[in-house]
Amino acid sequence: TYLNDEYTDSASAATTWATGHKTDGGNISWLPGDPADGDLETIGEILREEKGWAFGVVSTVPFSHATPAAHASHNVDRNDYHGIATEMLTDVKPEVVIGGGHPAWYRGGDDRYIPQDLYNAFKSGTYSAEYVFVERQVCVNGAVSLAAAAQQTVAEGKKLFGLFGGPG
């Protein structure tokens, strides 16, 4: 259980906000009781499918945290950050994902919020046909690098993944 079952946690609250369905504590856009194939379609997924709209998540917390995750992924465990990040970026593929959780800037190299192999794949350009990837760098203004990446994203008709954050 998460905290106290009498109170809604951020995962289930964000799920309700993103899908219109109540769920169990700890669930990320997943039906209560954790049935197989219990993923709930989010408002962003519905609007993309039915209207051709783009959607995304932008957050100051790690992008695979419960609140942003509930809008662009599905999981029975809010703490499965690797599973959430992988599904979000390789399956759901929102047009924009910007958030914290950079492995080099979180607790001195902790890959808690994105699997190291997925981070390495973005860094090496494996996903460059689909995404523009921008990340936090030493002595580089993040706002400037993010604005340049956003312009490149529009010019090239790609998706944007911005990975920032750090210990502060």
* Mean pLDDT, range 44-48, rounded to an integer: 98
Residue 6 has pLDDT above 70, yes or no: no
Reduced to 3 states (helix: H, G, I; strand: E, B; else coil), residue 159 is strand
Enter the DSSP assignment of 42.
Answer: P
CA–CA gap between residue 61 and residue 59 (Å, rounded): 5
Q: How many other C-beta atoms can be found within 10 angstroms of the C-beta atom of residue 163?
A: 25
Reported confidence tier of residue 3, pLDDT bands at 50, 70, 90: very low
* Mean pLDDT, range 126-152, rounded to an integer: 94
Summarised one tens digit per residue, pLDDT across range 64-82 is 999 999 999 999 999 999 9
More confident residue, 3 or 135: 135
Summarised one tens digit per residue, pLDDT across range 88-111 is 999 999 999 999 999 887 666 678
Reported confidence tier of residue 137, pLDDT bands at 50, 70, 90: confident
CA–CA gap between residue 161 and residue 129 (Å, rounded): 13
Reported confidence tier of residue 165, pLDDT bands at 50, 70, 90: confident
Summarised one tens digit per residue, pLDDT across range 119-131 is 999 999 999 999 9
C-alpha pair distances (Å), 21 with each of 10, 28, 111, 112:
14, 11, 31, 28
Could you tell me the two tokens for 22? 């109540």
For 61, the enclosing helix (H) or strand (E) is strand 56-62
Q: How many other C-beta atoms can be found within 10 angstroms of the C-beta atom of residue 125?
A: 10
Whole-number percent of the chain with pLDDT over 90: 83
